Amino acid sequence: MSKPPVPDPRRTLTLRDVSEASGVSEMTVSRVLRNRGDVSEATRERVLEAARSLGYVPNKIAGALASQRVNLVGVVIPSLSNMVFPEVLTGVSEVLEDTGLQPVVGVTNYSPDREESVLYEMLSWRPSGLILAGLEHTEAAQAMLAQAGIPIVEIMDIDGSPIDSAVGISHRRAGRKMAEAIIAAGYRRIAFLGTQMPNDHRARKRLEGFEEALARVGLSLADREFYSGGSALLKGREMTEAVLKRTPDVDFLYYSNDMIGAGGLLYCLDAGLDVPGKIGLAGFNGVELLDGLPRRLATMDACRLEIGRRAAEIIAGKRPEGLVGGEVIELFPTLQPGDTIRPT
């Protein structure tokens, strides 16, 4: 009634302020605020009331230092602008939600050096775990991660050797499967259209697997076209036009992602081409966007949500059974033939 509720508006509040306001020790306040240890109902109420009326917000920096526990999980991904990683994040958040752990994201823009510095920054906050996309990292980054002493989960890809655990799909196999489906459907003059980015290892591996499967039946790519930057949908149109002009007899277009594939599909439809009769198309990822297109693009989902979930479960220690880390979880994407590949 008589005490001014805010003694000094500029100084930021500490446990001591709450402790003084409620007449108990700082330790007891700390216990109340964390629901740790026995505190009588009466003091609990009093402390909570004091904390609330002061507007006290605990200082996790101090808490983390003292307890040597940080409730953060670093999530390091190449990009936020192509729908695939946000979905991974959704999976991660879902699982972490009720574990007291909180994801913190870092973006590398597909640059290994940037990844290295983002990792350094992350590790300097001593997170409880780290989830990062891909298996390819700078040497320094690998060393840091190995030394960190926390669970590390590399996601998206399992074609390589993980530092600790890994959750993902085999992109090489995904490329192979798609090639096999295309060949089985009778297409023979096949072109690849994809990202130029030298550091998109997963797209590269898909292409490798794809070509390998072609080679196995004596085929090779009829054409290939690369791009970088710009609107994916528009790029897809442009690239498709370029390929069709240069190699008019192609009968299949394999895109490295759904977005450019969708652009290509729109181009083909605009051009009045017979899809999938004369020409077939396929992408990769299984993005939701495709559902609204005039025709459903063939694709392969990358299990993004599931990857996020599994990775988070490993970090949260919710491992299936008695596993200690260092496990590799392979997921298997399913082919969605859509309407752009001839039925066999």
27 binds, among DNA, its own copies, none (CB under 5 to 8 A by kind): DNA
Positive or negative: CA dihedral 316, 321, 327, 333: negative
14 binds, among DNA, its own copies, none (CB under 5 to 8 A by kind): DNA
**Whose Cβ is closer to its own copies: residue 261's or residue 280's?**
261
How far, in Å, are 56, 203, 239, 310 from residue 226 at the CA level? 55, 11, 8, 33
**According to the binding rule CB under 7 A, does residue 16 interact with DNA?**
yes
Q: Which of 39, 48, 64, 183 binds its own copies (CB under 8 A)?
A: 64
Interatomic CA distance for residues 155 and 88, integer angstroms: 9
Q: Which of 27, 143, 184, 323 binds DNA (CB under 7 A)?
A: 27
Residue 336 near residue 291 (C-beta atoms within 8 A): no
| Sites for its own copies among residues 248-277 (CB under 8 A) | 262-263, 266, 270
DSSP state of 285: B
Interatomic CA distance for residues 207 and 198, integer angstroms: 13
**Whose Cβ is closer to its own copies: residue 123's or residue 197's?**
123
**According to the binding rule CB under 7 A, does residue 128 interact with DNA?**
no
Residues binding DNA: what is the number (CB under 7 A)?
A: 32
Which pairs with CB-CB distance under 8 Å and at least 24 residues apart come from 21-27?
A: 21/50, 21/53, 21/54, 22/46, 22/47, 22/49, 22/50, 22/51
Tokens standing for residue 166: 């890994």
**According to the binding rule CB under 8 A, does residue 289 interact with its own copies?**
yes
Instruction: Give the binding range for DNA (CB under 7 A) out of 6-14, 216-224, 238-246, 310-318.
Output: 6-14
Smallest gap from residue 89 Cβ to DNA (A): 27
Smallest gap from residue 67 Cβ to DNA (A): 4
Interatomic CA distance for residues 175 and 197, integer angstroms: 18
Please give the helix or strand (H or E) that residue 34 lies within, else none. helix 26-34
Q: Which of 3, 10, 36, 245 binds DNA (CB under 7 A)?
A: 36
Interatomic CA distance for residues 344 and 337, integer angstroms: 10
Beta bridge partners of residue 254, listed in sequence order: 192, 282
Cα 13 off chain centre by: 37
**According to the binding rule CB under 7 A, does residue 26 interact with DNA?**
yes
Smallest gap from residue 72 Cβ to DNA (A): 15
Smallest gap from residue 211 Cβ to its own copies (A): 27
Smallest gap from residue 291 Cβ to its own copies (A): 4
Residue 313 near residue 285 (C-beta atoms within 8 A): no
What number of other Cβ atoms are within 10 A of residue 341's Cβ?
25
Q: Which of 1, 4, 8, 40 binds DNA (CB under 7 A)?
A: 40
Of 59, 114, 105, 68, give the one whose Cα is nearest residue 86: 105
Interatomic CA distance for residues 107 and 331, integer angstroms: 24
Interatomic CA distance for residues 142 and 119, integer angstroms: 10
37 binds, among DNA, its own copies, none (CB under 5 to 8 A by kind): DNA
| Sites for DNA among residues 61-90 (CB under 7 A) | 62-63, 65-69
* Binding footprint of its own copies on the chain (CB under 8 A): 9-10, 12, 55, 57-62, 64-65, 70, 80-81, 83, 86-87, 89-90, 93, 102, 104-105, 107, 120-121, 123-126, 143-144, 147-149, 231-237, 262-263, 266, 270, 288-289, 291-294
* Binding footprint of DNA on the chain (CB under 7 A): 12-16, 24-28, 30-31, 33-34, 36-44, 58-59, 62-63, 65-69
